[in-house]
């Protein structure tokens, strides 16, 4: 009975949420909702909150990669021999509009972990490299994102002894094994239940 009441309550909550979405515009808050509400409780001066809120909204920037340009990005160039990072960003003119752009250079940008993979991605054609820049106050973080090209020389694609196939479903995994000419040798299912499980339990 308790479980049934909880389900009914959940359905009622979802119906109320749907009604709100159908009758009013969706509201969003950039810079975190918690910090937005803090302007009335944690700050004595409004300009102090406004400064922190502005920093929270503009502390990160993402520059998407493009596979048709050099080094996979039109706005970021990285010289891995001198550790010089060049970034092209728009700048504001006197009337407050962004009409042009300017290159900025950041020295001593090094990647102590897997730098060889980044260099490979920068030198690979048709390989977009996206960059995320985060302002941490005392320093900046530069995070490149790129696709790894795996070495498939050790992967065995031979079907001389047959193959095993898996079909992953919501509550079970179905598997089957065939010989080298496609005759079915064996099959089965592996049952599991992810209902009412946490995301960590589902992953395990």
The pLDDT score that the predictor gives to residue 187 is: 95
What the block records as the tokens of 120 is 């490979």
Q: What is the DSSP string of 135-195?
A: E-SSSEEEEEE-------TT-----TT-EEEEEE-SSEEEEEEE-TTS-EEEEEEEE---T
Of all residues in the chain, the percent with pLDDT exceeding 70 is 90
Mean pLDDT of the chain: 85
Q: Is pLDDT above 90 for 82? A: yes
The pLDDT score that the predictor gives to residue 155 is: 77
Nearest 5°: the CA angle 76, 131, 127 is 80
Report d(CA 160, CA 78) in Å as an integer.
47
Report d(CA 41, CA 27) in Å as an integer.
22
Stretch 3-30: mean pLDDT? 83
Q: Does the predicted model carry a pTM greater than 0.75?
A: no
The pLDDT score that the predictor gives to residue 199 is: 83
The pLDDT score that the predictor gives to residue 194 is: 86
Stretch 110-138: mean pLDDT? 88
pLDDT tens-digit map of 17-57: 888 878 776 666 666 778 888 888 888 888 888 888 888 87
With beta carbons less than 8 A apart as the criterion, state whether 88 and 103 touch: yes
Annotated domain spans of the chain:
31-59, 64-145, 163-203
Give Dmax over CA atoms of the chain in angstroms: 78
pLDDT grade, residue 92 (50/70/90)? low
The pLDDT score that the predictor gives to residue 189 is: 95
Listed in order, strand segments (DSSP E) in 53-161 are: 60-63, 76-79, 84-92, 98-106, 130-135, 140-145
Q: Is pLDDT above 80 for 101? A: no
Q: Is pLDDT above 60 for 95? A: no
């Amino acid at each position: 009975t308790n479980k049934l009441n909880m389900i009914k309550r959940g359905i009622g909550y979802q119906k109320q949420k749907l009604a709100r979405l159908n009758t009013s515009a969706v509201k969003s808050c950039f810079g975190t909702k918690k910090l937005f509400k803090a302007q009335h409780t944690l700050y004595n001066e409004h300009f102090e909150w406004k400064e922190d809120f502005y920093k929270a909204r503009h502390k990160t920037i993402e520059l998407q990669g493009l596979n048709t340009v050099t080094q996979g990005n039109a706005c970021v160039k990285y010289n891995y021999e001198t550790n010089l990072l060049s970034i092209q960003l728009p700048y504001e003119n006197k009337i407050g509009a962004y009409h042009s752009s300017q290159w900025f250079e950041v020295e001593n940008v090094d990647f102590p972990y897997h730098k060889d993979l980044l260099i490979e991605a920068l030198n690979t054609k048709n390989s977009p490299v996206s960059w995320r820049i985060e302002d941490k106050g005392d320093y900046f973080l530069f995070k490149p994102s790129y696709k790894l090209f795996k070495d498939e020389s050790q992967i065995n694609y031979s079907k001389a002894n047959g193959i095993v196939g898996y079909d992953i479903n919501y509550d079970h995994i179905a598997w089957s094994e065939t010989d080298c000419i496609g005759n079915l040798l064996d099959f089965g299912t592996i049952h599991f239940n992810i209902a009412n499980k946490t995301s960590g339990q589902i992953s395990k």
